Amino acid sequence: MVKIFISADMDGVAGVATPRQCDMDNPDYELARRLMTEEVNAAIAGAFDGGATEVLVNDSHSQQINLLPNLMDKRAELILGRPKRAGMFCGLDASYAGAMGVGYHAGASQFGVLAHTVDGAVYAALRVNGIDCAEATLYGGYAGSLGVPVILLAGDDRLQEQCEPQFPGVRCVVVKTAMGNRAARSVAPEVACERIRAAAADAVRNRASIRPLVIPGPCRLELDMMNVAQADVVMNIPVATRLGPRTVALPADDMAGVIGWVGAVNAMSAALR
């Protein structure tokens, strides 16, 4: 059995450059979700080309009901909706041979197309044991705690610049170049899908040469919140420590605990909106 896990985001998809495209209340969203589905299908096809026997996809963008089930490769299974345990990597366990991030992007406060980490309205930066975290870092570290390597990342050039060094051997597929936070030079969607399929197949075939990202516990999560009021909310957690007006720290035994805190703080911060 060769099981492959795919986490699907939208912000890093070819042809997507602005928040309105990622917002389900905007008419531009319907095209973006189709483009997202096509890139995921390319990753699924590539995984099977490379020898996968089972593929599980987790919809990981916003409300996490973006992928079009009726248009997806029928060989894969799909997780939809939120909230869910382990967030963007819900469904992953130690039985998987590798994880892929499709439609991914650079982290909070980085230069990159739609760059953010988890929620751009909440987090200005996240650090785990001093490591600046993009979503790929955060959830890739969780995968690493299970012994699962991240074998492919697809998104813009700034995703590659930030995260490729964190995952030696990972196959990075650049489908667009950042011209700003809300501007991109993108390849055609068909070209993006061709690149993703080829890289996914190569990643699965050569998965043994790609090592997991391991961030040893115990972990210290530092959160730079977007505003002081959000940090005030976090300080209602008994184990929280105030490091500055907008910065708080939380302890965790491991990366599972870290992503649990990130999800909980994000939900708490919604009370201020």
**Is there a contact between 21 and 32 (Cβ–Cβ < 8 Å)?**
yes
Q: What is the pLDDT of residue 83?
A: 94
Report the pLDDT averaged over residues 166-190: 98
Taking CB atoms within 8 Å and a gap of at least 24, the contacts of 162-167 are 162/106, 162/107, 162/110, 162/112, 162/132, 162/134, 162/137, 163/104, 163/106, 163/134, 163/136, 163/137, 166/131, 166/136, 166/137, 166/140, 166/213, 167/136, 167/140, 167/210, 167/213
pTM: 0.97
**Is there a contact between 218 and 255 (Cβ–Cβ < 8 Å)?**
no
Per-residue pLDDT of 139-159, as tens digits, reads 999 999 999 999 999 999 999
Q: What is the pLDDT of residue 271?
A: 87
- Write down the domain spans for the chain: 3-106+135-209
Report the pLDDT averaged over residues 52-62: 98
Q: Which of 105, 116, 158, 176 is catalytic?
A: 116
Determine whether 61 is an active site residue: no
Q: What is the CATH number of domain 3-106+135-209?
A: 3.40.50.10780
Flag whether pLDDT at 273 surpasses 90: no
